[in-house]
Structure 1
Amino acid sequence: MPINFSDIELAFAFVSMGQMHMHRAYICRKTGEVFYTSEMGDSDELPEDIYENEQYVEIPHKNDLDLGKALVIKFTSDHMPDNIEDVYSIFRKKGAYSKFKNLLEAKGFLEEWYSFEKKRQNEALREWCKEKKSKPRVNSNVSSSS
Structure 2
Amino acid sequence: MSYDAIDDAFHFISDAPLGERRALVHRPSGKVFLASLKAGFDECPAGADTDPDYLPIPHRQELDPGKPLVLEFIRDNCPAELARVEGFFNRPGAFRNVKDLLRRRHLLDNWQIFEMQQMEVLLKQWCLAQGLMS
TM-score (norm 2): 0.77
| In 1, Cα distance between equivalents of 2:20 and 2:74 | 27
Task: Flag the structure with higher helix content.
Answer: 2
Unaligned runs of 5+ in 1: 137-146
Partner of 1:75: 73
Cα root mean square deviation, aligned? 2.7
What does the per-residue CA deviation read over 1:74-102, in whole Å, with 9 as the maximum and x for residues that have no partner?
Answer: 4235434424057437x724xx55x6544
Q: Which has the higher contact order (CA 8 A, sep 6+)?
A: 1
What does the per-residue CA deviation read over 1:7-48, in whole Å, with 9 as the maximum and x for residues that have no partner?
Answer: 111111122223322221111122222211223123233201
Partner of 2:105: 107
Identity of aligned residues (%): 30
Shift of 1:66: 2.9
Unaligned runs of 5+ in 2: none
Partner of 2:48: 50
TM-score (norm 1): 0.71
Partner of 2:92: 92
| In 1, Cα distance between equivalents of 2:37 and 2:74 | 32
Match of 2:61 among 60, 63, 74: 63
Shift of 1:130: 1.2
Residues 62 and 74 of structure 1: is their aligned pair in 2 closer, same or farther, counting only changes over 3 Å? farther
Partner of 2:130: 132
| In 1, Cα distance between equivalents of 2:57 and 2:127 | 10
**One-letter amino acid of the structure 2 residue matched with residue 46 of structure 1:** C
Asked whether the 8 Å contact 1:20–1:61 carries over to 2, the reply is yes
